[in-house]
């Protein structure tokens, strides 16, 4: 049972470099999400995709772009990394048809921008 | 506006004593409520969820939460703490936006368990 798979698990970038975080789910879920976790802030929503072909901004979208490649995959791109983007990133998915359906999370990507 | 507030950033208990982690929410309609746990350097695991079938919800590892609509609260409890309960706990409320449910996190409560 793979669930939600994120790659890579760890990454160090230099300021100004770009990278894409990959996320895939095998639960046939419609909705997918990207969060960042910073100490004392909980998880904050960056972008989400309610269904294949749609994406919307969350609470902290600046500096990020996303692509819902197909129903399974939802990627997060940093075009020009900044030290403020040092964080742990989590991808999640859920079945949007049930209001009490929980979200399932990947194991996270720890990103450091130097 | 929808929001979720965890009232304590840290809670410290002794092993074998009760645990209470507090969560309040603000919602204009009946919410979807969850508690997640995150052990150090790990992902997030669902502890329990409120489904409106009962106000007292039982979860994994002996945790429970009670939904109190009049107080807009969903506090997490456990009768007797174990060392393995030391972790970060998140109260989560799902709000609707454009037909999708958006999990919104509280800032988290760090549970410290002393021997």
Q: What is the pLDDT of residues A26-39, one digit of tens each?
A: 999 999 999 999 98
Q: What is the pLDDT of residues A17-71, one digit of tens each?
A: 999 999 999 999 999 999 999 988 999 999 999 888 899 999 999 999 999 989 9
Block residue for tokens 């106000």: B55
Distance CA B64, CA B62 (A): 7
Tell which residue, A67, A107, A91, has the closest CA to residue B103. Answer: A91
> What pLDDT tens digit does each residue of chain B (115 aa) get?
678 999 999 999 999 999 999 999 987 777 789 999 999 888 899 999 997 778 899 999 999 999 998 999 999 999 999 999 999 999 999 887 766 788 999 999 999 999 9
Q: What is the pLDDT of residues A88-102, one digit of tens each?
A: 999 999 986 656 688
Structure tokens at B81: 């703490």
Chain A residues close to B98, C-beta within 8 Å: 50, 56
Contact assignment for B108 to A40 by CB distance below 8 Å: yes
Nearest CA distance, A17 vs chain B (angstrom):
25
Q: What is the pLDDT of residue B41?
A: 83
CA-based torsion, A109, A49, B52, B93: positive or negative: positive
Tell which residue, A60, A73, A58, A76, has the closest CA to residue A18. Answer: A76
Mutate which of A43, A48, A94, A101 to test chain B, going by most B C-beta atoms within 10 A? A43
Q: What is the pLDDT of residue A98?
A: 59
DSSP character for A96? Answer: T
């Amino acid at each position: 049972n793979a669930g939600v798979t994120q790659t890579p698990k760890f990454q160090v970038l230099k300021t100004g470099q770009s990278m894409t975080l990959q996320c895939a789910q095998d639960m046939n879920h419609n909705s997918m999400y990207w969060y960042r976790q910073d100490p004392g802030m909980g998880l904050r929503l960056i972008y989400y995709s309610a269904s294949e072909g749609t994406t919307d901004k969350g609470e902290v979208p600046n500096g990020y772009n996303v692509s819902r490649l197909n129903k399974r995959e939802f990627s997060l791109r940093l075009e020009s990394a900044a030290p403020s983007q040092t964080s742990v990133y989590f991808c999640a998915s859920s079945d949007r048809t049930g209001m009490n359906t929980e979200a399932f999370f990947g194991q996270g990507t720890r990103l450091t921008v130097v | 506006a929808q929001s979720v507030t965890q009232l304590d950033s840290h809670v410290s208990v002794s092993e074998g004593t009760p645990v209470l982690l507090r969560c309040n929410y603000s919602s204009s309609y009946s919410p979807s409520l969850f508690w997640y746990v995150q052990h150090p350097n790990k992902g997030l695991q669902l502890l329990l969820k409120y489904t409106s079938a009962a106000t007292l919800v039982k979860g994994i590892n002996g945790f429970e939460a009670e939904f109190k609509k009049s107080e807009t609260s969903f506090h997490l409890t456990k009768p007797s703490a174990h060392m393995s309960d030391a972790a970060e706990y998140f109260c989560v409320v799902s709000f609707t936006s454009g037909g999708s449910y958006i999990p919104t996190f509280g800032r988290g409560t760090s549970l410290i368990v002393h021997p």
